[in-house]
Structure 1
Amino acid sequence: MKSAFIHLASRHTSLVIKNDGRMPEVMYWGKRLPDETDLAPLGMTLSRPIPGGRIDSDTALSLCPELATGLFTSPGLEGSRNGSCWAPSFMVVDAEITPQSVTFTCRDKIAELSLVIDITLDEESDVCQSRLRLHNDGQTEYQLQRLSQTLPVKAQARELMYFHGRWTHEFQTKRMNLEQGAFTQENRRGRTSHERFPAIVAGQTGFSETHGELYGFHLGWSGSHRIHAEVMSDGRRFVQAGELLMPGEMTIMPGESYETPVLYSCYSPDGLNGMSQRFHRYVRQNIVHFDHQAKPRPVHLNTWEGIYFDHDPDYILQMAETAADLGVERFIIDDGWFRGRNHDRAGLGDWFLDQSKYPQGLQAIVECVKQQGMEFGLWFEPEMVNPDSDLYRSHPDWVLKTEGYEQVTVRNQYVLNLQKPEVFDYLYGCMNSLLSEYDIRYIKWDMNRELVQGTHDQHAANHGHVKAFYRLIDQLRKAHPQLEIETCSGGGGRIDYQVLSRTHRFWASDCNDPIERQSIQKGASYFFPLEVTGAHIGAGHCHTTGRTHSDGFRGMTALFGHMGVELDPVKATEQEKATMKKYISLHKSLRTLLHTGEHFRCDTDHQDTQAWGVISCDKKQAVVMFTQIALAEYALAAPLIIPGLDDGLNYRVTLLENSSGDLYMKQLPLWMEEPTIVNGALLAQAGLMMPAIQPESAILIKLEAV
């Protein structure tokens, strides 16, 4: 049997797709094959036998698995025309091929549907981007239930790592073996969610930060999603991802189409670090674009945990001046500046400056901030409205709700229906007016609740809300190209590649507790580079957990991200100010390395320890943080294996910071007493002995090639 094979190749990866006229099927996804490889023998070497007691023909696990072929698994497409055409079978009618991409056009003439499959393998990062588009060729409407992308993984991918969490506890990871059956994760909250970040990793049993073959997947969508991993009864394995549509939400009218979110995926032969570095490279080159030399990522001060709703312009001026003395470069006024907003039960929707709090307007504060060499930023939560607001009293029909039912409040607020033109125009007008009146260079864009029973034009409206949100943010950025935007949703509730393509930073969590931040920031780092991850020094007594931590531990944890401060600098003690100034200065000295280098995580051998770092692209400098989360398991620590160094270089190893008490050990490892020169191979294989430090503390290490 003759078959055509399409070979997409990047720097380190090959993706081989079978194209024999039926639905395309991935035959190989792994290490790059030599350019001269003859793929024709794959038709023989990878031809599947047909087991007894089953369908009499081979069933392909295609890019959109079809029930019509007798593949009794999770199909890629589910829908019907009022009950008919529910199991379509597509044939490829066209394939447009380049060295890095292929676009298949498939049709089912009986069901009167066209399916377009786009796949691109990014040459530099090895990340695969794929999406599907379903077009209704018929004369009647088609009710779509689900359209998901499907990619196979190797038979040895028997372990999954997935993400879970909640408010103030985002990006937690969990592992499970997948030997039989399936794992399905569904998010129905209408936003990306704190609880179920849309990503999964499938790999060899026991894959680690530095070892093992694995595949990483992330769905770039800011709404509800479904991720499914399955091992079929014949042993084939796959991962499937797509938007989760509510009942009746997506009807494709004649001549119209539905397009899936982009699924980002990659193969890594060298563990989670290899996966992360591929995703980070892709994000830097294709999703966000920062010129770190022209403008380093500015250090923030956000007023929220400093003053909450207690806004006094004279006091805020003091905060701005004190922040500048500490080295802050961007000053953001958070919630509480607009009309009627004295607590979280009123005011949302009335996006007009509260004249009782700011009788002279914002101009004096904006000018003061600029004179101090800082940018000015402002908080908004445009999609929300409080029942106690002038907007709601005037337009209760602007709420995203289902008529006849009582809409539940979440955090004392409703969601506005952005799909109504008058609502969209009102919000754009309010925000555009303020952005035009004042020199506001930054918006912290919040969304503090989920979508519940939201209906527009008598249909579920989660999909439409996300699209309207994208349009609003796009229109504002077009009108104000200098504007930078932070995506925040009660912290980490709306973080994904699609929203990041429109913004410049995300707020990883409302929790500034460094213990929690150690796991939150680690989890986020699997898919996001440090320069887009907001990481702040909070108050010594954490507002969300009630725990107290040392200034040093808070400062070091905030170093590894887009750094900021989240407290009242005026009320800080002189010692706290000195500490903040010290760590802000340290961050600035490391900022280029942190925000342009390759991030890595270390495999540590003792419980309740973790370590991560960044190495420059030329391998000549690195910085590593080792953390003791809880009381040490043993009296002595283990050597820390530092990956990613150049075996041919010698490095000067220097202790930069130690937040642990000096009395915890009688004698520290000798390298901590004076700088030591060590070969990169020794550090990567024998390691660097760590001290047994106090719980909830860290040390910071610098490595420089000599």
Structure 2
Amino acid sequence: MRHRLLLALPLLALPILTHAQTAEARVTAPAGARVFRLDGNGVTYALGVDDKGYLRPIHWGAAVAEGDPLAPPIVAEPSSFDPAPTVTAQEYPGQGEGLVTDPGIKVAFADGNRDLVLKYRSHRVDGETLTVELADISQPFFVTLRYTIDPATGVLARSASVRNGGKRPVRIDQIAAAVFTLPAGDDYRLSYLTGRHAAEWTLKDVPVTPALTAIESRRGLTGHANNPWFAIGKTGQTDEAHGPVWYGGLAWSGSFRISVAQDVLGRVRIAGGFNPYDFGWSLKPGETLETPVFYVGYSGHGMGEASRDFHAFQLTHILPEHARAKLRPVLYNSWEATTFDVTEAGQMALAEKAAAIGAERFVVDDGWFGARDSDRAGLGDWTVNPRKFPHGLKPLIDKVKGLGMDFGLWVEPESVNPDSDLYRTHPDWVIGFPGRPRTEARNQLVLNLARTDVRDHILGWLDRLVSENDIAFLKWDVNRRWTEPGWPGASPADQQRLYVDYVRNLYWILAELRRRHPALEIEGCAGGGGRVDLGMLRWVDEVWPSDNTDPSDRLAIQDGFTHAYTPAVMMAWVTDSPNWANTRVTSLDYRFLSAMQGGLGIGANLLKWQAEDVATASKWIAAYKTIRATVQRGNLYRLVSPEASASTSATMYVGRDGRQAVLFQMLHSSMWRDNPPAILPQGLDPARRYAVRMLGGGALPAGVPASASGAYWMATGLRAPLKGDFAGAAFVFEAL
């Protein structure tokens, strides 16, 4: 039976996409019903209306059998300090009746009333989407909740929209995309991803307590510090392969907040949406405000299965072109070789070297435009520098394409140097408060994309650049966060719309650029991993997880990244040694084996490579192309995480058809007489027979048979006898 998944993209004036499915999802909400449920892939999400008219959460987790009783739980008032309305768990509570947990929405009406009590009004089912409307008990204020469940993964998409049906504005101070409730318990643990520039994607694990934990960004973009993803497991039950996991990600690329805490009855409350910090929205009469989509899922088999399900969902429903998307080509980027010293002759010389080792895409980074000889000038002036490229980009592009590669450029559309023609012409186009100092970072300011004239200007020059040149790829970078978030020219009541309208217009530019140039591919970058989220992944083909390219650090970065996001979008570069980030010295073999665990790129200065370096790189690039589909689109098993105390880490990628698998074993350091245990593969078909070989050639280690059953490999394991520091090996399994 074929089904279509309808995923709402409420922030975009675009049609809802449909995708064929072979699994079955079910939305049960009969007319006159008081209980609604969504089922898919062994997951049930249920909600219902109680006798007082509140919309209540009932169940989120493993599938409940059809016919089993589902009803809103009875609320016992614990004391006069916590009256019943304040402890009644609601599906989307308004800030009213003394609510003290994070609300779905907090408002102030024009008459000064700040009490909002939302009750059920109606519902409808459209295919696999449930829509429920709530309304305040007296004010003409309405909330519409949308629910869609994916039949293949059980991932639930939730969002909300609010409408002012009155005659005077309503100030919205806080609004979430969704609120979730887990049953009472003292054994929940929260995992989240945190870090800083060049040290992103550190997985943290903390107990869930009554003290609220806020995973947030206040920076105007997603940020390096916290990512809009969470996972909640159970102490003593949940690990990589076992136990329950509730997880999710917010599809928003601006300031966000996900809050997690126990309430007074020990239930876990999760809310996520726009960050209420410095947020305010004057909702005009008749106006509607839509939230981002909050995607959540449940796994009964640990963090590994949760990741694999979320990866599969992203590949099928989030990424541009979805399952039809091309595999990531092997990329060469010239930044570390030339920095701003970009010339036609120099780039041509690098292109020849890149093609010789097997690169498929050549990308010119910063320095090709305007008066751009350093980061102090020229940003915003997106015309080809005639001194560096006297005949434009065409001779270089022709050279690159003649070498069998396609051509890409680095751009940073959202910022401007004060020393630029654009800023001198439009000083009012930057974010800031009139008459107040403006903080410069990397000698640049942020353009106000919330303005339609700025939005249209950026789209205009991008469209011309791609139309006038044979450009296959853009690396879209942003190298600073917001400061002084003012909107010159906007009314005081509408100043804080900046937080929403900026991101909406960013998405609009990306969507329109892709519509006009369907073959164009885009990489999302924000000084590394500063803007990676499900909102950006809707519009970019790949992301740059970190500016830190050290291969050992990257193993930890990649481990954290893949808890939330698919390896299909995760770019990793081989760069020079010692590495710029920490001066660590590593072999070229080790650097390639680290970078090959995602989308492979090379950023080294090829002009300095010796013949043996070229031979090594050529070998590994050719080998990577034989496993690329498995790494980028397969199922990932994190066998041994690269923790600081571990000498060895291991990951395994299994093709979705089960015919190929790749196991990477990476040694951090060894001691005399070390005898680490065998690595146990996962994800193979026990009944199938697999031949095994070393990726890149070479003999199998002693004692490793040339072929065996999947059951044998997963029970017995295998290992490369790695010695020394920073060494690696990879085994390729092929079904016979």
What's the TM-score bracket when you normalise by the shorter of the two chains? over 0.9
Shift of 1:541: 2.0
Mapped pair 1:430 → 2:469: no
> Cα distance 1:541–1:283, how it changes in 2: closer, same or farther (>3 A)?
same
Shift of 1:92: 1.4
> Cα distance 1:294–1:69, how it changes in 2: closer, same or farther (>3 A)?
closer
* Matched residue SS, 2:96: helix
Mapped pair 1:538 → 2:538: no
Q: What is residue 705 of structure 1 aligned with on the other side?
A: 735
Mapped pair 1:620 → 2:678: no
Shift of 1:330: 0.8
Mapped pair 1:8 → 2:38: yes
> Cα distance 1:403–1:431, how it changes in 2: closer, same or farther (>3 A)?
same
Structure 1 length as normaliser, TM-score?
0.93
The partner residue of 1:117 within 142, 145, 152 is 145
The partner residue of 2:471 within 432, 440, 447 is 440
Q: Percent identity?
A: 31
Contact 1:292/1:592 (<8 A) preserved: no
Shift of 1:688: 3.3
Distance 1:393 1:285 in 2: 45
Mapped pair 1:645 → 2:684: yes
> Cα distance 1:297–1:185, how it changes in 2: closer, same or farther (>3 A)?
closer
Mapped pair 1:471 → 2:508: yes
How many equivalent residue pairs? 692
The partner residue of 2:518 within 481, 491, 507 is 481
Q: What is residue 674 of structure 2 aligned with on the other side?
A: 635
Q: What is residue 670 of structure 1 aligned with on the other side?
A: 702
The partner residue of 2:301 within 270, 292, 304 is 270
The partner residue of 1:174 within 188, 191, 204 is 204
Q: What is residue 241 of structure 1 aligned with on the other side?
A: 272
Distance 1:11 1:87 in 2: 39
Mapped pair 1:342 → 2:370: no
The partner residue of 1:256 within 277, 287, 306 is 287
Mapped pair 1:383 → 2:414: yes
Shift of 1:50: 4.2
> Cα distance 1:573–1:445, how it changes in 2: closer, same or farther (>3 A)?
same
Aligned ranges for residues 302-317 of structure 1 at < 5 Å? 302-317=333-348
Mapped pair 1:563 → 2:600: yes
Distance 2:694 2:54 in 1: 57
Q: What is residue 74 of structure 1 aligned with on the other side?
A: 102
Q: What RMSD in Å do the two structures reach over aligned CA positions? A: 2.5
AA aligned to 1:90 is L
AA aligned to 1:481 is P
Q: What is residue 622 of structure 2 aligned with on the other side?
A: 585
Q: What is residue 400 of structure 2 aligned with on the other side?
A: 369
Shift of 1:76: 1.6
> Cα distance 1:249–1:180, how it changes in 2: closer, same or farther (>3 A)?
closer
CA deviation map 1:551-586 (0-9, x unaligned): 011000111111111122232211211121111111
The partner residue of 1:509 within 530, 546, 555 is 546
Moved more, 341-350 or 687-696: 687-696
Moved more, 687-696 or 402-411: 687-696
The partner residue of 1:520 within 554, 557, 562 is 557
Q: What is residue 205 of structure 1 aligned with on the other side?
A: 235
* Matched residue SS, 2:606: coil
> Cα distance 1:27–1:412, how it changes in 2: closer, same or farther (>3 A)?
same
Q: What is residue 536 of structure 2 aligned with on the other side?
A: 499
Q: What is residue 695 of structure 1 aligned with on the other side?
A: 725
Distance 2:519 2:606 in 1: 28
The partner residue of 1:152 within 157, 178, 181 is 181
Shift of 1:169: 1.1
Q: What is residue 408 of structure 1 aligned with on the other side?
A: 439
Shift of 1:689: 4.8
Q: What is residue 665 of structure 1 aligned with on the other side?
A: none
Extract unaligned runs of 5+ from structure 2.
1-31
AA aligned to 1:532 is V
Contact 1:210/1:603 (<8 A) preserved: no
Distance 1:241 1:471 in 2: 23
> Cα distance 1:308–1:138, how it changes in 2: closer, same or farther (>3 A)?
same
Q: What is residue 612 of structure 2 aligned with on the other side?
A: 575
Shift of 1:285: 0.9
AA aligned to 2:623 is L
Moved more, 481-490 or 465-474: 465-474
> Cα distance 1:633–1:494, how it changes in 2: closer, same or farther (>3 A)?
farther
Contact 2:523/2:544 (<8 A) preserved: yes
Contact 1:608/1:632 (<8 A) preserved: no
Contact 1:603/1:641 (<8 A) preserved: no
